[in-house]
Amino acid sequence: MGSFKFLLAALLLAGVLYGCNKDEVKNVPANAPTEQNTTQQVNENATEVTEFNFLEFSLDVDYSATESYDVEFENKKSGIEAKLTDDRNNERLQGDEAYTKLEPLFKQLTFDSTTPNDKVIEQVISVFHIADDFQSIEVEVEFADGTEKEFKQMK
């Protein structure tokens, strides 16, 4: 009976650990910045442009209590994770699929840690084609230089 419990626990743990990596991007572009080399590139060569000027990006747009648009992106030493949830278009993407859709949008974002809140929100609304009937929008960013910022707008 004891070995059955051990086997069951091991299988359960394996399932949980497998589920944790669904958002991980497997096909990472060779020029994608990572937490370690982005900071180094920014500090060593200010003229060198990395793919994005941030390591983490989170976007949460609420249209109603049941409709939202969410983006999660992390580029850490352990790898890149990406997730996109769009309730209005019934779209739920993770990992490579999400990254493929988000990459061209991220490349259009030009704001940095000194950009005013309203300009960041305007740019995000434009780039992500956010409909005007949103109730709230929140953007959280960790920039390549380590600065973390939060930008919000309520209607």
Report the alpha-carbon distance of residue 45 to residue 31 in Å, rounded: 15
Report the alpha-carbon distance of residue 33 to residue 155 in Å, rounded: 35
* Closest CA relative to residue 62, chosen from 117, 110, 1, 134: 134
Q: Mean pLDDT, to the nearest integer, of 106-120? A: 94
pLDDT per residue as tens digits for the range 44-98: 333 333 478 899 999 999 999 999 999 999 998 888 999 999 999 999 999 999 9
What pTM was computed for the model? 0.69
Q: Look at 138 and 33; give whichever has higher pLDDT.
A: 138
The pLDDT value recorded for residue 96 is 93
